Amino acid sequence: MGLTPAQIVERLASDPQFSSRVTAWRFVEPREARYGVLPANVAPSLVEGLRRVGIDRPYIHQAEAAHRTLRGEDVVVVTGTASGKTLCYNLPVVQTILDHPESRALYLFPTKALSQDQLDELHSLVEGTEADIKTFTYDGDTPTQARRAVRRAGHIVVTNPDMLHTGILPHHTNWTRLFENLRYIVIDELHYYRGVFGSHLANVLRRLLRICDFYGSRPSFICSSATIANPGELARRLTGREFSVVDDDGSPRGERHYILYNPPVVNRELGIRRSAIEESVKLASLFLGNDIQTLAFARSRVDTEVLLSKLQSNPDLTGRRINGYRGGYLPAERRAIEEGLRTGETRGVVATNALELGIDIGQLEAVVLCGYPGTVASTWQRFGRAGRRTGTSVSVLVASSSPLDQYIVNNPDYFFGAPVESGLVNPDNLFILNSHLKCAAFELPFEQGERFGVSTTDSMLDHLAGIGVLNKLGGTWHWSVADDYPAQYVNLRTGSIDNVVIIDKTRTPKVLGEVDTFAAPTLVHTDAIYLHAGRQYHVEKLDWEEKKAYVREVSVEHYTDASRNVRISVLDDFASDGSRPLGRGWGEVRVTSLPTIFKKLRLSNHDNVGWGKIDLPQQEMHTTAYWLTLPVELERRMGRPAVEAGLLGAAHVLHQIAPIFLMCDPRDLGKVTEIRSPFTDAPTVYLYEVYPGGVGFSELLYRAHDDLLSRASELINACPCDNGCPSCVGPPSMLGRRAKLHALSVLQHGTRERAATPSA
Amino acid sequence: MASILSNGSSVRPIEAVVPGRFVRNRHGVFYCAQVDTPNHERRGGIRFGDVLQARGDLIAIAGRDAELTGLDVRNTVFVDTETTGLAGGTGTYAFLVGLGFFRDGHFVVRQYFMRDQSEEKAMMFAVSEALRRFDWAVTFNGRSFDFPLLTTRFILSRIRPRLDQLAHFDLLHTCRRIWSRAPFAARIGLRLGSLESALLAHRRPTDVPSWQVPEIYFDYLRSGDAKELRAVFAHNVEDILSMVSLVGVVDSVMGSWRNPGTVDPHAVAGIGRIHEMDGRFDIAAEAYSAALAESLQPETAARYAFALSIIHKRHGDWTKAESIWKDLAEGKGRLAAAACVELAKYLEHRLYDFGRAYFYCMSADGLAREVSFPMGGQLSEWALEHRANRLRRRMNAAHMAASSDRAS
């Protein structure tokens, strides 16, 4: 018999070595449930249905959400993981259908897997009411024969934004019943819709509401979200409506421990800490060895696979079922793992954020985060996976040596005290807006004066008419392209049309998974080692034209890491004052990216054991960027090599720490340094958004400029290394021994220069 | 009113290209053209006027839809649309709707045309009013293309769609069932144009390929020059006239296939298949036998023979079935394998001759292996192995029983 979570927590607390590496340990008292009262008009059959699924009284937030929704308000519910959010929308929806059987509701979930789980829950509730309420899933997997029934008879249609965008809205005349009677639009996992995906969704919803208007319905919104700083604002930006926020969480919970853990420094001079993966494996092994169901999160696919193989090969854990879980896995594999977690058959899972989205796996007892997930909000979501309603649970964040991780564990008050980040969207991103304007015109002609999000709708439509996409007749714009279907060109998630399909040729060829087009040149280039389900695959050929990568299973001792050569040119400067050089800038840029080489790195110690060229075409993208400009004289004062090192070091830190201000991942930003930028004519560091047009990160960085620079300096000053290390400015082998000083100097000049410009 | 461009070529409006008139209703104006064909004219062997006598009961069998039993061509509308694309969705328009019907000794094709999208509502309203006069509709692929598209256009024009009030005979599916095995089908396909040339021996003097139609319309929208549209209007009339003639052909083959030599045996077998699908096995067997009495390509003959054998089996006509299976078992491929399995089942379950059953089962295995074992069903590797194992057990059991009989 192993130890209980409570006993393990006690043991860890009394272990001086472990404690010395803990930078923060927070303990949260158990909390009793608080209940509310159902609205008076809730039907007896629904009360009975609730009772049958084990609910005698609703939690206070569930009751509140029902009251406000049934009053006609647009509501967003923001409560913790496993707090019974689903009922917050199921209750008013079912009640409304019981009152008016012709009414309809549309449920939107960000992923297919998720919708399946929520549907099961809804089914049990509906069954309990014994009413004839039909709920159907409509997505890519819905058989053609079943689609007709869904369109006609479904009271509740469950789908995802992609299907709404390509499958439902352009065919709205097949859905007249739904659109004429639509009472509720439910958006679950609202926090997921930020950045590019959120900006797309906002436009899909503009199209949806436009179609509802044509059929004479005005649905209300019910949204649910994990904790973010601005749920009401995000909901408003996505839908164009004002929201009422329900955030008083009445659900009970057991005792919880949150631990921030920094692996020990093993080489002070080089600033090398023991690897986060090693430490995570140790912790996870401790939990799993005591038969505590454990979820480990890694940040990348590669880390997931390495962590998984180390746990699976640990002799102490023989016989325990431990699985991987991430984006590239096929739906059937994922469902089997989810099921295993729920039944308890699976004891451990190593996952990427593919598991973040409220997929129902029950509540676990321990969570280990290998590396900071990038945002405060997503850290809390992952921590939230541990914690049953009773009993002790424990969550540990193991910091990697990246600057952001080090900042977080060394500033625990920031992490525990800071409000979580805001979800940013930019529905008026010209690239995105314009794509959806075409889709909208395809769906229904536009009338003069009609507003699609922006006040410049008429002139955008005129532009589309000018290039022959629309035909303007009198005051109406009509779709006017032969044999076309604009939604097929708009991918809501990546901005690109299609993914690269990975085909396994080891035996009978089969599809192994997919990667998005942006990631493909560095993940599945020819000769890359691609990892899937703990297995290694060698990419024999990437057919870029056909968007197919052919792989074969291998067993090798290395992995691959690809680089790209990135260049940037400024097309438009958005900063209001035209004076230059300025400490900071923000504007539209063109980024060209050329994959160059890949390195083969040994699995055990990351030694370089070879390299190869990547022969793929250059990609070009228009986006927005934030930049930091330094005085030209700096080069004369410091010397060119020092400025170069300082720029690279500063860029490294800024790029890593920028997510503190944004709800994004460092990978959502790219960095470029130029000793003499052709645009600013001065030493410059650029941080650009990796999505065409950008989603607002650059502007926020521009506004946070001073704060950003001072936090970057703080981080460098606090780093225990001597001469620079990967946790701050980068390794001295690349930047020289005075890299920290140079980077600090660059950051100070950036701040001082701006301060000297009074108009800024 | 033709305007003159600087390069001297004249821009000709629709009324200068296609004779017709403008029609105004409460939703605006649209253009309407009409082509009348006298009843005595022919296409292929079919006189248009004779189609008026087509028998609804035969059409209902061919269309596998009892609602068509009372079909009366006098109250039938033939519908074909020209559209801005095949991609579907609400952004695809039907810019030209052709409705054909018999009236006063003529077959009339009335064409409703919008000069641009602003005339759509007036046009659709007129189409809707015109459709009210009919009880039946005939199309070629209307079930999945023209009717859904027209429904969408009605909804977008806020006109109540009436299409579901018409009993609908879609020629495409019927023609596919009847002629899918005909030699011309493999050569030129079963589109309207190929049926027209194969069954009606009709050649269109000039024709515009369907895929060019959307672009011609958008060129017209941009330039205002209707010159190229003449061919599109003509194409629409041709399609509708062929649909009328095809109804005549279907009526004729459905009524006359029993007379030897009048109908292509492949079509006779196709008719047999329709009867079989709807459970009229006697008629199906009759049709298959009639088809097999004519000369067919060997693979085709094998296919129909097998179909016939299954009907014999259903009727308990074992001798006839067995003789077909034995013939087929001499051949190659999937049908030979299937015949062997049928023989094995017959010998095992009817005659308790496990030895010969085993022999045919192993023959089936060899034949199926050559076509790399179809997935699932009786010919899958698993199913054959299972059958062979059982037969081996039963052979042994029978052998043991026989020896113990001898011993006692």
* Nearest-by-Cβ selection for B155 from A173, A471, A486: A173
Length of chain A measured in residues:
760
Decide if A443 and B152 are in contact by the 8 Å CB cutoff: no
The nearest alpha carbon in chain B to A439 belongs to B91
Q: In whole angstroms, what is the distance from residue A396 CA to residue A259 CA?
A: 5
The answer to whether A698 and A688 have CB atoms below 8 angstroms apart is: yes
Give the torsion sign (CA, B242, B23, A443, A168).
negative
Q: Tens of pLDDT along A210-241?
A: 999 999 999 999 999 887 778 999 999 999 99
What does the DSSP 8-state code read for residue B146?
Answer: I
Number of A:B CB contacts under 8 A? Answer: 64
Give the chain B residue whose CA is nearest to the CA of A487.
Answer: B89
Residue by residue, DSSP assigns B256-286 as: HTTSTTSS-HHHHHHHHHHHHHTT-HHHHHH
Measured CA to CA, the distance from residue A483 to residue A129 in angstroms comes to 47
Cβ-defined contact of A170 to B85 (cutoff 8 Å): no
Res A754 pLDDT > 70: no
CA distance B244 to B237: 11
Q: Please give the pLDDT value at position B224.
A: 94
Q: How far apart are CA A407 and CA A404, in angstroms?
A: 5
> CB distance B217–A474 less than 8 Å?
no
Q: What's the confidence (pLDDT) of residue A270?
A: 66
Q: Is the dihedral of CA A397, A398, A399, A400 positive or negative?
A: negative
Best of A164, A171, A173 to substitute, by most chain B Cβ atoms within 10 angstroms, is: A173
Q: Is the pLDDT of residue A581 over 50?
A: no
Closest alpha carbon to A79 in A71, A87, A68: A87
Which amino acid appears at position A746 of this protein? Answer: V
Sort strands B46-47 and A75-78 into parallel, antiparallel or unpaired: unpaired
| Distance of alpha carbon A666 from alpha carbon A668, whole angstroms | 5
Asked if A592 and A670 touch (Cβ cutoff 8 Å), the reply is no
Are A92 and A77 a contacting pair, CB within 8 Å? no
Per residue in A400-433, pLDDT tens? 887 788 888 988 887 887 666 777 788 888 778 9
pLDDT for B407: 62
**Mean of pLDDT values over A177-182:** 96
pLDDT of residue A326: 73
Separation between Cα atoms, residue B324 and residue B318, nearest integer Å: 10
Closest Cα in chain B to A445: B91
**Structure-token pair, residue A225:** 């979200």
- C-alpha span between B324 and B285 (Å, rounded): 13
- Answer yes or no: are the C-beta atoms of A664 and A195 closer than 8 Å: yes
DSSP state of A386: B
Taking the alpha carbons at both ends of chain B, their separation in whole angstroms is 111
- Of the candidates B388, B328, B332, B379, the residue with the CA atom closest to the CA atom of residue B361: B388
Burial B280-310 (b: 16+ CB within 10 A, else e): ebebbbbbbbbbbeeebeeebbbbbbbbbbb
Burial of residue A41 (number of CB atoms within 10 Å: 0-12, 13-18, 19+) = exposed
Confidence of residue A26 (pLDDT cuts 50, 70, 90): very high
User: Which of A444, A445, A482 has its CB closest to that of B84?
Assistant: A482
Residues B83-120 pLDDT 10s: 999 888 999 999 999 999 999 999 999 999 999 999 99
Whether residue A398 contacts residue A282, with contact meaning beta carbons closer than 8 Å, is answered with no
Structure confidence at residue B4 (pLDDT): 45
**DSSP labels, B152-187:** HHHHHTT----GGGSEEEEHHHHHHHHHTTSHHHHH
Percent helix, strand and coil across chain A, each rounded to 5?
40, 25, 35
Between residues 115 and 134 of chain B, which touch chain A (CB distance below 8 Å)? 116-118
Of B94, B84, B81, the closest CA to residue B121 belongs to B94
Cα-atom radius of gyration of chain B, to the nearest Å? Answer: 28
pLDDT score of A358: 62
Q: Which two tokens stand for residue A196?
A: 């590019």
User: How do residues A603-628 score in pLDDT, each as one tens digit?
Assistant: 766 678 889 999 888 877 788 999 99
| Cross-chain residue pair A471–B221, CB shorter than 8 Å | yes
Of residues B270 and A558, more confidence is placed in B270
Average pLDDT over residues A181-206: 92
In chain B, which residue's Cα lies nearest the Cα of A170? B89
Cross-chain Cβ contact A443/B85 below 8 Å:
no
Q: Binning pLDDT at 50, 70 and 90, where does residue A494 land?
A: low
Give the closest of A172, A442, A482 to B218, CB-based.
A482
Tell me the pLDDT of chain A averaged across its residues.
86
| Predicted local confidence at residue B2, as pLDDT | 44
Q: Looking at the partner chain, which of A170, A473, A482 has a beta carbon nearest the beta carbon of B85?
A: A482
Nearest to A302 by CA among A498, A524, A516, A503: A524
Q: Is the per-residue pLDDT at A178 higher than 60?
A: yes
Given a contact cutoff of 8 angstroms between Cβ atoms, the answer to whether B244 and B78 are in contact is yes
Residue A170 is nearest to which of B90, B116, B148, comparing CB atoms? Answer: B90
CB–CB of A528/A502 below 8 Å?
no
pLDDT above 90 for A718: no
Measured in angstroms, the CA of A180 and the nearest CA of chain B are apart by: 12
Q: What is the pLDDT of residues A71-129, one digit of tens each?
A: 999 999 998 877 888 999 999 999 999 999 999 999 999 876 666 777 788 888 999 99
Looking at beta carbons, which residues of chain B come within 8 Å of A165? Answer: none
The pLDDT value given to residue B6: 46
User: Phi and psi of A537, rounded to 5°?
Assistant: -130, 135
User: Chain B, 239-298: which have a CB under 8 Å from a chain A CB?
Assistant: none
**Could you give the ipTM of this predicted complex?**
0.83
Interface of A with B (CB under 8 A): 170-174, 176, 441-445, 468, 471, 473-474, 476, 478-487
In single-letter form, the type of residue at position B108 comes to V
**Nearest CA to A183 among A151, A148, A223, A212?**
A212
Q: What pLDDT, on a 0 to 100 scale, did the predictor assign at position A738?
A: 87
Type and span of the H or E element at A515: strand A510-515
A694 is written with which tokens? 């950008």
Q: State percent of chain A over pLDDT 70.
A: 92
Angle, helices B265-277 vs B298-314, to 10°: value is: 30
pLDDT band at A758 (very low <50, low <70, confident <90, very high): very low
Higher pLDDT, A681 or A78: A78
Contact between A476 and B118 using a beta-carbon 8 Å cutoff: yes
Contact A173 B152 (CB under 8 A): yes
Q: Residue A495: what pLDDT? A: 53
pLDDT attached to residue A439:
96
- Closest residue to B89, CB basis, from A442, A480, A482: A442
Rounded Cα gap, residues A210 and A26, in angstroms: 48
How confident is the model at residue B119, as a pLDDT?
97
> Do residue B90 and residue A443 have CB atoms under 8 angstroms apart?
yes
Backbone angles phi, psi at B271, to 5 degrees: -65, -40
**CA B273/CA B174 separation, integer angstroms:** 11
Measured between CA atoms, how close is B43 to chain A, in angstroms? 32
The CA-atom distances, in angstroms, between A62 and each of A49, A348, A363, B113 are: 15, 32, 20, 57
- Helices B298-314 and B333-349 cross at an angle (nearest 10°) of 20
pLDDT in tens, B347-368: 999 999 999 999 999 999 988 8
Q: Give the pLDDT mean for A480-497.
A: 78
Strand duo A265-267 + A272-273: pairing = antiparallel
Yes or no, beta carbons of A170 and B117 under 8 Å apart: no
The tokens describing B91, both together, are 């952004």
Looking at the complex, does the CB of residue B90 fall below 8 Å from at least one CB of chain A? Answer: yes
* Residue A187 φ/ψ, nearest 5 degrees: -120, 105
Question: Counting Cβ atoms within 10 Å, is residue A493 exposed (0-12), middle (13-18) or buried (19+)?
Answer: middle
pLDDT at A209 over 80: yes
pLDDT at A99: 95
Question: What is the rounded CA–CA span in Å between residue B184 and residue B180?
Answer: 9
Residue with tokens 């260049």: A567
Residues of B in contact with A176 (CB under 8 A): 155
Residue A201 has pLDDT above 90, yes or no: yes
Verify whether the Cβ–Cβ distance A486 to B91 is below 8 Å. yes
The number of CA neighbours under 13 Å toward the Cβ of A452 is: 30
| Whether A300 contacts A328, CB under 8 Å | no
Closest CA of chain A from B301, distance in Å: 34
Q: Do A173 and B151 touch (CB under 8 A)?
A: yes
- pLDDT, tens only, A239-252: 999 999 999 999 99
**Which tops the pLDDT comparison, A723 or B141?**
B141
Residue B321 structure tokens: 């079935």
Q: Which are the contacts of A546, defined by CB distance < 8 A and separation ≥ 6?
A: none
Percent of chain A with pLDDT over 90: 43
* Tens of pLDDT, residues A314-342: 888 888 888 888 766 776 787 788 888 88
> Residue B78 in contact with residue B240, Cβ under 8 Å?
yes
Answer whether residue A139 shows pLDDT above 70: yes
| Ranges of chain B whose pLDDT falls below 70 | 1-9, 406-408
A495's tokens: 């901005």
**Alpha carbon distances (Å) from A303 to A376, A549, B224:** 20, 22, 63
